[in-house]
Structure formats: C-alpha cells, structure tokens
Structure 1
Amino acid sequence: MPASPSTARAINDRLALRLLQSEGPLTAGQLKQFTGLSRPSVADLVERLQDAGLIAVVGETGERRRGPNARVYGIVADRAHLAALDVRTDSVTVVVADLLGEQLAEASVPIGGGTGTGPAVERAVALVERTARAGGASRLHTVGVGAPGLIDPVTGDLRDSARLPAWHRRLVAALTDRLPARVLVENETNLAARAERRDGAAHDRDTFVLLWLGAGTGAAVVLDGTLRRGASGGTGEIGFLPVPGTAGLPSATACDGGFHSLAGSAAVEDLAAEHGLKAEPEPGEPAAAAVVRRAVEGGHAPFLDALADRVAIGAASVAAVLDPGCVVLGGELGCAGGHALAERVAERVAAMSPLHTEVRASALGGAAVLRGALLTARDAAQEELFSM
C-alpha cells in the first residue's frame, strides 16, 4: 500500500534533515541529488522546514554563473539546547551543546563523601543551570545523564543500590522538577560504549564489548548493533563474575571475591604497592589510574604483566560466552593503560581462548561517558524535533 501524501512528506523531510546533519549545509540542488526527489518536491520540503524553524539559509555557493548564487541551507543549531552529565561518586561534570552537538560550555563540581543528599543534589542541579546560562541556553530541551549503577529496563530509572550515594538516585527527579527538559539516564559504561562505537575504538564494529575498569568494573555488550540490557538490566555486571585468584566468592549484595576484586581500583592500588609503585596523581586523577599511567610511562613491565593477567580473565570470560570479536578497555584504568595494557591483554586472551578476539584501548579516554550522554540527548532531541 503506497504511503499517503502526508506520510511521504514526513519521510522526505526527515531524510533531508538527516542529510543536512551528516553532510553539512547543502543547496537545494544537492538535496535533490542526494534524495532523488524532484525539484518541486525539494522546494516544498525546504519551505516546510524553514517554516518549522528547523533549517535556515546559512550562505551561498559563491559560484560564478548567470543569475543569483544558489542558497545553502543548514540546520538551525540553536533550535534546541542540550546538556550531558557525567555523574561520579564524588563529582559531576556538565557539558551544554546545541542541537548539532557543538559544545558551548563545560563545568565540573566536586561533591565530597560527607556532603548530605540534599546539598549534593542542589549543587549538581545548580551546576547544570549555571552551565546552561554560560552556554547561552535559556532553556534546555533534553538532558542526558551518565551514572554508575543499573538502569531498570522497564522504567528507565536508576535502580537502588547500596554501593551508590543516595544523591545519585534523587538527581534525575530533581533535574526533571527544576528544568523544563526531558531527562534521560543511562549507565556510564553503556554510554561509553555508545561513544566508542560512534566516534572511537569500536567505530568499525557492530558487535563488541566494552570492559569498564575503574572504581568499579562492568561491561557494555553490543551485539549486531544493539545494546543488550538483559531481563533486569544487569547485562555486563562482570564485577560479580566468580574468578580464580580471590579470597572467596561474590554474594548477591557484594562483588568482593568476583572480578572486581582483581581489577577494580582498590585491587590495582594493592597490586601496585606489591610492585613498589606509588601513585602520583594529577589534579582530578584517581590514584589507581595514576599508578597505571606511571607504569606505562616508566615501562614497568612486571606490574603491567600482572595487571594484564588479571584483566585477561574478565576479557577471556566475555569472549568465551559472547564471542564479540572485539573487547575495548575503557574506564579510568583502561584509558590509563592504553595500548600497552591492551596489547598484553590481547596476548593472554589469545592463549586462553580459541576465539579470535581483538583487544583495543579506548580512543576517547575520560571523555567517553560525556560524549555518550551528549549523543543520547542529541539523538532524542532530533528524533522529537525532526518528527515535526
């Protein structure tokens, strides 16, 4: 059954907007060439999109020819403003951007462990409001939030967890109440994976796993281009994976004895102490990440080999169950280890598994979570606005 005229127009309009987003400003002639539409159809859609405030004339071709130069059309970037938050246990970082994802302002605020729930939430929300004003945004359309912890696959809310500060769970509700904006929350590891697939180490992969190595450990699983969450949202809780080399077994309420006890920040600091390495962190750098970075810079092979032995247990387990073909090492420790750690882990996984598995270092480093949160906000805002 052929589409109705109104449906066909909507499809054509969205196609044109996606082209303007991906290819940059275009002339009507270029839109005609890319879409295959007739000249009158392109003229109609350009008029509709201008009337809707989604596109505008941003210049002319500058070609020397008879008659006026062709107008160049682009998406109105300030049609909507977005914010992305990277929420850590002790800090919040905010980026404000326009509809095309161009960054306008960025700021961070520390939130110490002794800060009460109410003051912590207020500090985070106030930071978003200040950063929005600094970026020239009088109103935010969509806010993407990246946080540690499980996301309920039904409600989309951050699930209660004794491991997380109470202010984490209250932040999304406070943002929704204070801002006239749509607020979307997602697990930090999943956001990092989204960013690595779009712009980073997994840009050429539809199937891969991002192994998060930081204060906590986790994994994001992308199969055939789709992020997998599991029945309860717990796909990738690799910190609870029982592994050799620990003093016991994990429980339903604590991952002590699991992979976390081998590769989490506290365990890595203990491993560094065994090798005589001391952390000399730069401002804002976690101690465990600093010691890994120092080992890489100093070529401390014994420590890096020992760390790779541990990380490879998690990577090989993932490979054996999922056969992703590619594991990206992310989080603070994965980023600090870089290619030196990734190469060592790859060698060990190859020796432990018959399944070919590339191991890659994160290409986006500490910016991956914010980048993923911004992509989530941008895509959601464009989906709503471009649907007209």
Structure 2
Amino acid sequence: MSAGCVIGVDLGGTKLLAGVVEPDLEVRHRVFRLAREGRGSEELLDQLVEAVQEVQVAAGRELLAVGFGIPSLVDVQTGVAATTVHLPLRDVAFRDVMAERLGVPVAVDNDANAAIAAEHRFGAAKGTQTAALLTLGTGIGGGIVVDGSVVHGANGGAGEWGHMVIESDGPLCTCGNRGCMEMLVSGSALGRAARRAAEELPDSGFGRARSAGREITGALATELAHDGDPVARDVVASMGRYLGIGLTNVVNVLNPEVIVVGGGVIAAGDMLLEPARRVVAERALLPSRDRVRIVPTRYGDASGMVGAGLLAMDLAGVS
C-alpha cells in the first residue's frame, strides 16, 4: 500500500469541500457537497463522515488524520464548536465526536483560521509577519496573523470581521446586530442586491434573467458583470465600496502588510477589489494605507481545505 494520507475538510455555510492534501499542498480526490443547512447536527456530522470516507476510498491509502475548518467559534484547546451562526454545531464537542466516528486523530479550527494558515505559510501572505484574511461566502469569515502566528483570541473568536458594524442603521444581521459587514459584503448580500435590481430595473440583465425564470444569485451578478452588464457592474462595485469601508477598519486596527480576500465572491476579481482599494486609499490612516496590499487568495476556494489539511499534517507529523 502507498504511504498514508491526510484529508482536509472545509465546511461552509452552504457547502463542504474535502480532499487529500499532499505535503506539496496539491489536493487530490476532491469531494464537493452542498451542506444540509437547516437540519440537525447529527445529519451534518453524518454528511462529513460520508465525505471523508468517500475521499479515503478514492485515495486507496491509509488515513493518518483529518483536519476540519468549520464556520464556528472554536476553542482550539478543547475542540468544541462554541457558537455557529449558519449551521447546527453550537456546543458540539466536534474534535472528539469526529475522532470517535472516524477512528483517526482529528484537528479542528475555524474555517477562516485554517484558510489564513494556508495562505500565510504557502500562499498570498507568505513571508509576512502581520496579515488579515476575509472569506466572502454565505457570510464573512476572518483570520489574523500577528508575529507570524494565527491569532485565536481569548476564546477563539478573533477575526470576526464580518460582524464589524459599517452602517449603523443597516440591515438586521443573523447575529442580532444591524449593519454588520457580512450583511452588505458577502455572497448572500450580493444575491440580495441582485434581486433588488431585478425588481427595480426589469429591463436590466437581472430583470430579463428573472423573466426567463433564472434564479437571481450572487453568482449570476458576477457572471453578468464579467459579461459587461452595467447594472451588474454597478452592484459589484457598490459592494466593493462597502468592502473598502470594512477593510479601512482592518487596516487602522491591525496595520497589516497584506489583506487576503477569498471566498466565492472573489470571482468578481478587480471589479470588487479595485473599488475597495480606492476606499482604503482615501480613508485609512497613513502610513498603514500605503503599505498594505489587498490581494486575492492564492488557493481560491480551496484555501480552507488546504489549511485544514495542514492542521492534519501537523497532528500526524507529516512533512
């Protein structure tokens, strides 16, 4: 039998990715699933086990360890998922439960912490001492590196950039607050903005898509923007400006060398990032704003999975 392997799993608010992560960080035997949002924790844990087993069977190798990045505030000492907004994992002893179910050592951290670990060690933040990461998906995940190490905070809750308030009377957030960044800058927010445009501008690309029976989503907004649709480009640029307001706060608080932006929304590329960079250049404090680079992730939507694989490698002593 060939050498053993580790598997990295990235669980998001609506999807999961799993795969064998090799020492050179190449990912093999990927599995993609839509997460069973709205169902119980047992069903979600079952789905994770099934995904890991499917990857292991495809790999045909001994499984040494599994790393998980999950959208939760994780106590990394105990492996308990203390709070989760989008999925039923509140107060689940995730590490111990999954280790028992899988029969191998398990490591777990917040999904964005896993992503910034990958980007800092080998990706877009490599070589930096101070960095931040935002993943723009169903919500916003965030990670921080200071002095070359991932910052977890007192209870594992550091880096929740998505719950910075950037509009005091803004939309109600799932956390109970108003005007949180993730309500204005995320895949969900982009979808909502696209649906408003479809209703208000029936002759726009969004309006025509709705008349044709297409689902109006953030992905459609990105598609139309890349096709040159002016309304879609305006919607993406507006989100980019809100992103810039949030990143201005990150720059002023952390003074990072680089801010890495990932998640599904980053498919909009510079249509999203250029407006954000302009706002940071106008609003952030000197000299921080002149030093910081705002860049996309190196590993794209696989950053969290690669980072989870690194957690598993560290646990298994794989190099």
> Into which bin does the TM-score normalised by the smaller protein fall?
0.7 to 0.9
The reply on whether 1:330 has 2:262 as its aligned counterpart is: yes
**Cα shift at 1:102:** 5.2
Q: 1:1-388 maps to which residues of 2 (within 5 A)?
A: 78-97=2-21, 103-113=27-37, 115-137=39-61, 139-166=62-89, 169=92, 172-244=95-167, 246-247=169-170, 253-276=175-198, 278=206, 287-298=217-228, 300=230, 301-333=233-265, 335-353=266-284, 354=286, 355=288, 356=290, 357-382=292-317
In structure 2, the gaps of 5 or more residues are: 199-204, 210-214
**Cα shift at 1:341:** 1.9
**Cα shift at 1:247:** 3.1
Q: Deviations over 1:283-334 (max 9, x none)?
A: xx9932442343134264422321111001110000111111321111211x
In structure 1, the gaps of 5 or more residues are: 1-76
Contact 2:99 2:106 in 1 (8 A): yes
Amino acid at match of 2:280: V
**RMSD over aligned Cα atoms:** 3.0
Residues 111/270 of structure 1: CA separation in 2 closer, same or farther (3 Å cut): closer
Q: Percent identity?
A: 27
Aligned partners of 1:200 and 1:286: how far apart in 2?
A: 33
160-169 vs 355-364, greater mean Cα deviation: 160-169
User: Helix, strand or coil: the match of 1:160?
Assistant: strand
Paired position in structure 1 for 2:202: none
User: Helix, strand or coil: the match of 1:298?
Assistant: coil
356-365 vs 312-321, greater mean Cα deviation: 356-365
Aligned partners of 1:164 and 1:286: how far apart in 2?
A: 23
Q: How many positions carry a matched residue from both structures? A: 301
Amino acid at match of 1:267: A
Amino acid at match of 2:274: E
Aligned partners of 2:138 and 2:313: how far apart in 1?
A: 28
Aligned partners of 1:365 and 1:275: how far apart in 2?
A: 28
Amino acid at match of 2:225: A
Residues 142/270 of structure 1: CA separation in 2 closer, same or farther (3 Å cut): same
Aligned partners of 2:219 and 2:53: how far apart in 1?
A: 31
Q: Deviations over 1:67-112 (max 9, x none)?
A: xxxxxxxxxx944321111112344322124566554422233343
**Cα shift at 1:133:** 2.0
87-96 vs 205-214, greater mean Cα deviation: 87-96
Structure-2-length-normalised TM-score? 0.82
**Cα shift at 1:157:** 2.4
**Cα shift at 1:274:** 4.2
Aligned partners of 1:369 and 1:117: how far apart in 2?
A: 21
Which entry has the higher C-alpha Rg, 1 or 2? 1
Aligned partners of 1:201 and 1:336: how far apart in 2?
A: 16
**Cα shift at 1:250:** 6.8
**Cα shift at 1:168:** 9.7
Residues 286/227 of structure 1: CA separation in 2 closer, same or farther (3 Å cut): farther
Whose relative contact order is higher, 1 or 2, with alpha carbons under 8 Å and at least 6 apart?
2
Residues 171/293 of structure 1: CA separation in 2 closer, same or farther (3 Å cut): farther
User: Helix, strand or coil: the match of 2:82?
Assistant: coil
Structure-1-length-normalised TM-score? 0.68
